[in-house]
Amino acid sequence: MDLLLILTYAALCVFIFKTFNIPLNKWTVPTAVLGGVILIGTLILLMNYNHPHTNQGSQFFVSTPIIPGVRGRVTEVPVQPNVMLKKGDVLFKIDPTPYQAEVNRLQAQLAEAEQDVLELEAAYKASQATVAKAQAERDRTLAQYRRYEKGFKRGAFTKSDVDNRRQFYLSAEASFEAAKAEERRAKLAFESEILGENTTTAQIQAMLRKAKFDLSETVVHAPTDGYVSQVTLRPGMMALPMPLRTVMTFVHKEDLFFVGAFRQNSLLRLKKGFEADMIFRAIPGKTFKAEIVEVLPAIGESQVQAQGTLYGSEMLQRQGRPLVKFKMIDDLSEYSLPQGTNVEIAVYSDSFEHVSVMRKVLIRMKSWQNYLYLDH
């Protein structure tokens, strides 16, 4: 751009000198040169500050390391590398035999515990029947005792007959009280089981839920829409639930964004909503519209963490660049670019907008330059 401006200014000077017959002397030539330096330098400086540019840009994507939730031998890997998947599609399967066996064992224990509930209910109902029977026997012996007592007063029965009936009544009364006590005990046991207060049943249910979860973890699904690249997992391999032993990497479809690193001099001209142009080395001769989404509030080179080392002056020598996040406005789908491609970015601020034409011309010239490279 500076060469183009110089040539344009030189042509303009030649035209003016020829048209107006201005003589070439020690005053006119230096004046024209100095005027060109001032004019072109001012334009370039205004463009650099108000419409910043960076060649340190790249597309970023989010990936998730796939770690199995349980340990086991891989039995099936139906996923194909670099083929788009839907959320919930199967990535691979682990042998479920030991986990299914644990679920079956706990289900049997739970069924046994639930059978105990039925037995407690039957015991409670039996105790109720026993109470009813004992009450009927108590009432029968009481009626006989009273009848014998009235007959004794009339001389129909002896004292011994009355005492015998009285003993029968007292025995039935005792049996009735014992039956009521047994009914209360059976009722408390049954109600505590129904209300979930039985700790054994609660523990079995909790262990069964965990066993079912472990069984479900033997089939690993895609967390979102996306794909798996470089699938090296094969049936027969052992999958371990360890953070450092990832079995594959899942690339999310939608989590794509562009980031550029700019000079700190340009921070006041980098704001959310400003338009930008991007060029790709892989697509020479074309520019693409973008927009600033966010200026990240922290510079990574200046971060500190709690540790046992004192910070020295060398930390102050780190000259980090602020990172700016962009979203692409134009459609790139027809170019089938791999995720993570590098870009150059030019931002157009709302200051000295007329100077932005120079930056637009420059970014397009740099795009055409991507045709020219030597690789031999």
Q: Report whether pLDDT(328) > 80.
A: yes
List the domain boundaries for the chain: 1-50, 52-62+253-302+318-376, 68-95+220-245, 99-213
Percent of the chain with pLDDT over 90: 39
Its CATH class, for the domain covering 68-95+220-245, is mainly beta
Question: Which residue has tokens 């209360």?
Answer: 184
pLDDT tier, 320 (very low <50, low <70, confident <90, very high otherwise): confident
Q: Report whether pLDDT(333) > 70.
A: yes
Q: Is 25 helix (H, G, I), strand (E, B) or coil?
A: coil
Check: CB of residue 58 under 8 Å from CB of residue 343: yes
Architecture of domain 52-62+253-302+318-376: Beta Barrel (2.40)
Q: Specify the pLDDT at position 161.
A: 74
Q: Report whether pLDDT(293) > 90.
A: yes
In this structure, the number of other CB atoms found within 10 A of the CB of residue 172 comes to 21
Q: Specify the pLDDT at position 192.
A: 66
Q: Using one digit for the tens of pLDDT, what is the confidence trace for 130-174? A: 888 888 888 888 887 777 777 777 767 677 777 787 887 788 788
Q: Report whether pLDDT(1) > 60.
A: no
Q: Report whether pLDDT(357) > 80.
A: yes
Say how far residue 27 (Cα) sits from the centre of its chain. 72
Q: Specify the pLDDT at position 30.
A: 74
In this structure, the number of other CB atoms found within 10 A of the CB of residue 359 comes to 21
Q: Using one digit for the tens of pLDDT, what is the confidence trace for 294-304? A: 999 998 888 88
Distance CA(373)–CA(376), nearest Å, equals 10
Q: Which residue has the higher pLDDT, 169 or 269?
A: 269
Q: Specify the pLDDT at position 195.
A: 57
Mean local confidence (pLDDT), 323-329:
94
Q: Report whether pLDDT(197) > 70.
A: no
Q: Report whether pLDDT(222) > 90.
A: yes
pLDDT tier, 128 (very low <50, low <70, confident <90, very high otherwise): confident
Q: Which helix (H) or strand (E) holds 289?
A: strand 283-295
Mean local confidence (pLDDT), 274-287:
93
Average pLDDT, the chain: 84
Q: Report whether pLDDT(326) > 90.
A: yes
Q: Specify the pLDDT at position 194.
A: 63
